[in-house]
């Protein structure tokens, strides 16, 4: 169980997390500070931009791959990234670091100084964990609400008001009865793909026609609460969203064997299916069998949205064995390639 106190500890902990990251730009420092609206928390002073080797910093970020992200996000130190937990806060710090390092434009809530930040804060209820058919699930409980953070950053396009969103949830299930649920496939794999595509866009230095927004949702495992909070309190008018490409559990199973979840073959689903074919993979609409992912929050608002997932996504899902060993690195690479091609089709025309 997490409490408000735990979140405050998390905020304090971020100072410690930030300490070894001597190469962070000042705007990241601002983002971290903006989380601590109340109560006030002192952070370790980070060096000013002029003191940094920013070129070296960006190069280091550009070289990272989805596999690197998976390895970081599944480390025991992050405690399975349950929404609202200290471990999830560390994951959030990592994602802000990566987005700031790539020079993405913050698309979250305004900070205290009025400037935009990467974090979009909302509240979640406490959750009870139970095992259903050997899989761990989280059920939101009534009562106390605790803070959680979505994270958003963009590469601006020529027609900045038209937005292509690529997104993945970064929360998972945490620790239950002493066992770590690392969530490598669910959904460090998707987070890694989104980051890898953003790195590739930054590396290419070609301005897209449409703005590409990367979004990382919290509290998906509690019923898509992060993406739902975003569509209820969006940081830009939702009409600007041309397509939403969500990736969830994309790293396991035979290479190239994907599936799509969408409300029919909408324009986003079509682009994703074509992107898979271009990449030498297959991705056709599949049954949800009562499951779902964050695309649903956007589909309910009438926005073309789709989730890409491995056809064998359910293997070891929500078990402690969903660790890096479950992943097929070729499949993970292909998933990032499919997402990249979908973005190239949708955002560069
Ligand atoms: Zn899940």
Is the distance from CB of 244 to CB of 160 less than 8 angstroms? no
How many alpha carbons lie under 13 Å from residue 260 in its C-beta half-sphere? 28
Determine the pLDDT at residue 74. Answer: 98
**Class for the domain spanning 53-347:** alpha beta
Prediction pTM value: 0.85
Ligand 1 midpoint to CA 107 (Å): 25
225 vs 48, residue with greater confidence: 225
pLDDT at 134 over 60: yes
The Cα 116–Cα 133 span in angstroms is 43
Phi, psi values for residue 168, rounded to 5°: -160, 145
Ligand 1 midpoint to CA 137 (Å): 8
310 vs 60, residue with greater confidence: 310
Ligand 1 midpoint to CA 155 (Å): 28
Ligand 1 midpoint to CA 186 (Å): 5
Q: Calculate mean pLDDT across residues 228-254.
A: 97
Q: Calculate mean pLDDT across residues 188-217.
A: 97
The Cα 126–Cα 228 span in angstroms is 17
Ligand 1 midpoint to CA 29 (Å): 31
Average pLDDT, the chain: 87
Ligand 1 midpoint to CA 19 (Å): 31
Determine the pLDDT at residue 142. Answer: 85
N-to-C CA span, the chain: 47
Three-state secondary structure string covering the chain: CCCHHHHHHHHHHHHHHHCCCCCCCHHHHHHHHHHCCCCCCCCCCCCCHHHCCHHHHHHHHHCCCHHHHHHHHCCHHHCCCECCCHHHHHHHHHHHHHHHHCCCEECCCECCCCCECCEEEEEEEEEEEEEECCEEEEEEEEEEEEEEEEEEEEECCCEEEEEEEEEEECCECEEECCEEECCHHHHHHHHHHHHHHHHHHHHHCCCCCEEEEEEEECCHHHCCHHHHHHHHCCCCCHHHEEEEEEECCCCCCCCCEEEEECCCCCHHHHHHHHHHHHCCCEEEECCCCCCCCCHHHHHCCCCCEEEEEECCCCCCCCCCCCCHHHCCHHHHHHHHHHHHHHHHHHHCC
Ligand 1 midpoint to CA 24 (Å): 31
pLDDT at 253 over 90: yes
The Cα 173–Cα 319 span in angstroms is 9
Ligand 1 midpoint to CA 97 (Å): 24
Ligand 1 midpoint to CA 54 (Å): 36
Among 315, 73, 69, residue whose Cα is nearest residue 180: 73
Ligand 1 midpoint to CA 252 (Å): 14
Ligand 1 midpoint to CA 222 (Å): 9
pLDDT at 18 over 90: no
Q: pLDDT class for 54, splitting at 50, 70, 90?
A: low
Q: pLDDT class for 228, splitting at 50, 70, 90?
A: very high
Q: pLDDT class for 298, splitting at 50, 70, 90?
A: very high
Q: Calculate mean pLDDT across residues 40-45.
A: 36
């Amino acid at each position: 169980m997490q409490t408000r106190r735990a979140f405050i500890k998390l905020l304090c902990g971020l100072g410690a997390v930030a300490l070894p990251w001597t190469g962070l730009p000042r705007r990241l420092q601002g983002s971290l500070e903006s989380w601590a609206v109340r109560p006030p928390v002192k952070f370790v002073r980070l060096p000013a931009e002029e003191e940094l080797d920013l070129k070296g910093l960006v190069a280091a970020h550009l070289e990272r791959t989805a596999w690197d992200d998976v390895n970081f996000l599944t480390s025991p130190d992050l405690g399975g990234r349950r929404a609202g937990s200290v471990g999830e806060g560390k994951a959030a710090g990592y994602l802000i670091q990566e987005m700031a390092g790539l020079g993405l434009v913050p698309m979250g809530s305004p900070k205290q100084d009025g400037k935009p930040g990467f974090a979009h804060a909302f509240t979640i209820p406490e959750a009870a964990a139970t095992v259903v058919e050997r899989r761990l699930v989280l059920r939101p409980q009534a009562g106390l609400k605790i803070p959680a953070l979505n994270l958003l950053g963009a590469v601006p396009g020529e027609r900045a008001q038209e937005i292509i969103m690529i997104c993945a949830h970064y929360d998972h299930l945490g620790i239950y009865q002493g066992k770590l649920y690392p969530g490598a496939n669910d959904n460090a794999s998707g987070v890694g793909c989104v980051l890898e595509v953003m790195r590739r866009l930054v590396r290419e230095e070609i301005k897209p026609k449409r703005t590409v927004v990367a979004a990382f949702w919290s509290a998906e495992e509690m019923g898509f609460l992060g993406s739902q909070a975003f569509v209820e309190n969006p940081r830009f008018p939702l009409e600007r969203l041309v397509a939403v490409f969500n990736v969830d559990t994309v790293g396991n199973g035979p290479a190239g064997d994907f599936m799509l979840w969408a409300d029919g073959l909408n324009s986003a689903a079509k682009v994703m299916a074509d992107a898979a074919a271009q990449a030498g993979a297959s991705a056709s609409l599949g049954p949800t069998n009562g499951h779902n992912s964050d695309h649903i929050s956007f589909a309910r608002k009438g926005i073309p949205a789709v989730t890409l997932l491995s056809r064998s996504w359910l293997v070891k899902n929500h078990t402690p064995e969903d660790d890096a060993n479950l992943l097929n690195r070729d499949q993970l690479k292909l998933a990032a390639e499919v997402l990249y091609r979908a973005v190239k089709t949708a955002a560069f025309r």
